[in-house]
Amino acid sequence: MRILIVEDECKTAAYLFKGLSENGFSVDTATQGEDGLHRALTQEYDLIVLDVMLPGRDGWTILGEIRKAGKQVPVLFLTARDAVADRVKGLELGADDYLVKPFAFSELLARVRSILRRGPTRQPETLQVADLDLDLIRHRATRRGQRLDLTPKEFALLSLMARRKGEVLSRTLIAEQVWQMNFDSDTNVVDVAVRRLRRKVDDPYASKLIQTVRGMGYRLEDP
């Protein structure tokens, strides 16, 4: 299990490094926010222990960037004061847990183990593209709060596009993912489905989210 510690106080960082290493974890430390963010975005960790008060980029900004990049790595926040507003802010930004300084190492270790036991990644429950919201648990799609009446396949197609928003998805890929068809099948079915989906998702609204990229495929994007 790999853990990244982002903590600017060298004594605390060294203490966490020693304790976690002795307990069998493979540990990297970053004492600068920038360095921590770079490691978090370019390497795979099972958990990040993130100090809130860092010079330059603070822990909140770093957590925001990590989540914006689509990384679901669990984050344990270290805060200097037990302020409710701080905790709420951290949890809203997608922290998994927090610990108030000063803390006993045994307490940190217990939190670390408990977060790791919950599993490696959390699947998102909702997706958002501009004013389009998808509830992946209830299989509901809304635009500006208005429910869209989609068939199960249309919902599957829309959620595939929303999960990979901004990316051009080829007809072949869409056919494989939504209809489990292989690439030599007739992908015209994709064009027909996209046309029907557009009627429900885009036609009634001024801003169009589904774009055709000529010769390549389709893309869902905030225009």
Residues that bind Ca ion (CB under 5 A): 8, 51, 53
Q: List 27's β-bridge partners, or say none.
A: 3
Please report, as a single letter, which amino acid is at residue 75.
V
Of 35 and 131, nearer to Ca ion (C-beta) is 35
Q: List alpha helices for 29-120, DSSP H.
A: 33-42, 59-68, 84-92, 105-117
Of 56 and 120, nearer to Ca ion (C-beta) is 56
Burial class (CB in 10 A: 0-12, 13-18, 19+), 3: buried
Of 102 and 215, nearer to Ca ion (C-beta) is 102
Q: Report the C-alpha gap between 86 and 212 in whole angstroms.
A: 43
Of 13 and 190, nearer to Ca ion (C-beta) is 13
Tell me which residue has its CB nearest to Ca ion: 53
Handedness of CA 76, 80, 81, 83 (dihedral sign): negative
Of 8 and 202, nearer to Ca ion (C-beta) is 8
- Closest approach of Ca ion to the CB of residue 174, in Å: 46
- Closest approach of Ca ion to the CB of residue 9, in Å: 5
- Closest approach of Ca ion to the CB of residue 31, in Å: 9
- Closest approach of Ca ion to the CB of residue 78, in Å: 8
- Closest approach of Ca ion to the CB of residue 111, in Å: 18
Contact 129, 158 (CB under 8 A): no
Q: Report the C-alpha gap between 172 and 188 in whole angstroms.
A: 10
User: Nearest to residue 53, comparing CAs of 94, 20, 81, 91?
Assistant: 81
Of 53 and 93, nearer to Ca ion (C-beta) is 53
- Closest approach of Ca ion to the CB of residue 51, in Å: 4
